[in-house]
Structure 1
Amino acid sequence: MKSLKFRKATVADVFPLSGLIQRTIRVSNARDYDRKSIDMLCAIFAPEPLTERIENENILLCFEGANLVGTVGLKGVYLRSLFVDPAFQGQGLGKVLTARIEEEARQRAIPEMMLHSSLTAREFYAALGYEFVELQSYPEGPFVLMRKPLNVHR
């Protein structure tokens, strides 16, 4: 990957961010979720509900040049909404985004990160040190609750 740039999301980013997330869900989660579940997940990341998230969460965007290629969020103790454009997956960007949001959590003295992983991403998070807590069922389908202790900066 060439030079990556990171910045906090603003409401002006809602349409490209929604497009990135919905495209990623449709491509990456297709083998683990049925069409109804994917449609429900995509609806969560439509522009209107995503605008509220941008206003109420810390959402980090990653760009390669002018192209939005990844995103991750932090809400309370939860790592939320890690998505990497399918064309950029497998190149370490998800790991970089996760490390950045974990560092922010450490700076906020959050002792443990939690997340709801898709079935698709469970092994990715496990490789980064996240532990299985439990399988949870939602209308959008099954998700895996995971956690990771953080060494907090004092």
Structure 2
Amino acid sequence: MDCLIRTATSEDAAAISQVIIGALRDTNAQDYTPAVIEQVAQNFSPQAILRLLTQRRVYVATIDHHIVATASLDHDVVRSVFVDPTQQGKGIGRRLVAMIQSSALSGGVSLLRVPSSITAEGFYASLGFRKVRDEFHGAERTIIMELKLGK
């Protein structure tokens, strides 16, 4: 079971939506209320993913041609890093963020930011991101983190 990372296409929208909503409802539900989870999940319908594909560089990780994770780069901001709960802890998210970092560097970005969920704060910290501040969007707490790229 080798993991392949590639650029997402419009044909991937439904599978990306499924991975994100599954991770929100399983993993992120440990740190957020059901109301917050459902509010965030509304932003990741297949139609919403199709719009994001036109606005960001979106990547997917596949195993046996099945999408198991996604991440995107919006200028200098890492967004929507989600891994299927059955595949978490296997380094797939780490590989996706490495792809994002490489893409950002080649695009001239020297400082990456990420609006992290409470759930993912430790993951990003393990990759060298440092906490800058907390932001609140209603009941949803987001941790803004940064990583300097290059030397």
Cα pair 1:10 1:55 within 8 Å, conserved: no
Give the deviation of 1:91 after TM superposition.
Answer: 1.0
CA distance in 2, matches of 1:82, 1:27: 15
The corresponding residue for 1:78 is 77
Q: Does the C-alpha gap of structure 1 residues 5 and 132 become closer, same or farther in structure 2, counting only changes over 3 Å? A: same
Q: Deviations over 1:44-98 (max 9, x none)?
A: 1012222110111100011001211111100110011101110110111111111
Contact 1:57 1:73 in 2 (8 A): yes
Structure 1 gaps, min length 5 = none
- Secondary structure (helix, strand or coil) at the match of 1:79 reads strand
Distance 1:40 1:139 in 2: 11
Which position in structure 2 is the counterpart of 1:104? 103
Give the distance between the partners of 2:84 and 2:139, measured in 1 at CA. Answer: 21
Aligned residues: 151
Letter in 2 for 1:149: K
Identity rate of aligned residues, in percent? 28
Uncovered stretches (5+) of structure 2, i.e. residues with no partner: none
CA distance in 1, matches of 2:51, 2:138: 21
